Amino acid sequence: MRNFVLIIILCSVAIYLTAQQEIAETSGESVKLKKSSLHEENILEAELDITGAAEDSQNQTNNSDPEVQDEVSSQDCIFDLETQTDEFLRSVPEFADYSWDDISKTATILLPAGDTLYATRGGCDHFAFTGTLVKSGSSHAIDDVSHWLEQGAWISKSIFSADDFTNYMNMVENKDYEVTVRDNSLFILFIDSQYGEWSLTVELEADENKTIIETGYYIN
């Protein structure tokens, strides 16, 4: 009888130990699966962080790099900005010492007596070509239209093409223009179907003792 009881007890212990081992193994596998899942999630999050950082870096580069911005702007323009250079001045010997800003497409030409001529050629949706003469003093009246037209003729002959200069002189001789004078400002609008607009403006700046004369045109 005692032997029978002992056998039952040993069998119960064996069954209990086997069950505990299976529970432990099952728990271990669960822990491994959880660790593996967490590891994969961490890798995925890291990859997403790296991808996002790379995209942010690329966006910042595109936004901050002037060359990239210029390339994008040029692609959106009707007129090609890259072809608008200072070539129109290279053959003018009296302007040999000018400086050229390729970003603003503007040439700065220093003239005798401290005067300065600015020539701007460029445009995106409109092609524009203007000359701005800044002179010391203001010795002529703002309503002296003939004088200011002569100044506009000098600017046109100096920087524009021969055809443009001829058109300017034809508009002056035919009086194809309208004149508006207000205080120390003069505005002349030329009438010519070849251009979107051609104008001549004069500003007498007494406080700074200078005169600003600008003429030019744009084409759609």
Residue pLDDT, tens place only, 139-190: 799 999 999 999 999 999 999 999 999 999 999 999 999 999 999 999 999 9
pLDDT band for position 113 (50/70/90)?
Answer: confident
Q: What is the pLDDT of residues 3-34, one digit of tens each?
A: 544 455 554 545 555 555 554 454 444 434 34
Q: H or E element: which one contains 4?
A: helix 2-64
Neighbour tally for 11: CB within 10 Å: 10
Contact 205, 216 (CB under 8 A): no
Task: List the beta bridge partners of residue 109.
Answer: 117
Mean pLDDT of 64-77: 49
Residue 86 per-residue DSSP state: S
- Residue 25: predicted pLDDT: 52
Alpha-carbon gap, residue 142 to 206, rounded angstroms: 12
C-beta pairs of 83-89 under 8 Å, 24+ apart in sequence: 84/121, 84/122, 84/123, 86/121, 88/119, 88/121, 88/159, 88/161, 89/119, 89/159
Provide the residue type at 60 as one letter. Q
Query: Please, what is the end-to-end C-alpha distance for the chain in angstroms?
Result: 117
Positive or negative, the Cα torsion across 62, 66, 70, 73? positive
Q: Hey, is 125 helix, strand or coil?
A: coil
Closest CA to 159 of 197, 107, 114, 113: 107
Neighbour tally for 50: CB within 10 Å: 10
Contact 185, 200 (CB under 8 A): no
